[in-house]
Amino acid sequence: MSTLAVGHRFDDTKLAHLDAAAVAAYAQASGDRNPIHLDAAAARAAGLPGPIVHGMLVMGRLEGAIRNWLPGARLKGLSTRFVKPLAVGDGIVIGGRLARIRPLEGGGTELVLRLTIANGAGTMICIGEAVLESVPLTG
C-alpha cells in the first residue's frame, strides 16, 4: 500500500450481466419483491423502460471490487447515491480512485476511495465512497 498515492486510479472491475434470475434470487433472499424489479408491465407502469436491478444488489458488488484492489484493507464504511437505475440484464463497470490517505494513531492508514458504477453502455448509474483501514505491513 505504500506505493499508492492520492489520485491513484484502480483498474476498472467489469462484472457480468445482472440477469432476471439473479434479480429474482436477490428478491427472494432479501424479501424485496417490489414488482418494478420482477415484472416488465409493473416497471413500465411506474415509468421505467423495464425491470430494474435492486440498488442493494448493485451496491453489494462494490465490496468484491474493493477487496481486489486492496486485499489487506478492512472496509469501515460505504455510501452510495444512485443517479440512474440499472436495467435487468445489463452489466456493470466499477471504477475507483484514491481520494484521501490519513495516518492513524497506533499505525495503519485510513483510505478513502471515490467509487463509480456505470452500466454496460458506460452511462453512470451510481457514485459512492468507501472508507477503509489498512494495517501496517510487517516483514
Domains and CATH numbers, the chain: 9-18+53-134 (3.10.129.10)
Whether 14 has a pLDDT exceeding 70, the answer reads yes
Torsion angles phi and psi, residue 116, rounded to 5: -135, 150
Q: What is the DSSP letter of 64?
A: H
Element at 124 (helix H, strand E): strand 124-134
Residue 136 confidence class, pLDDT cut points 50, 70, 90: low
The overall pTM is greater than 0.85: yes
pLDDT tens by residue, 87-134 = 999 999 999 999 999 999 988 899 999 999 999 999 999 999 999 998
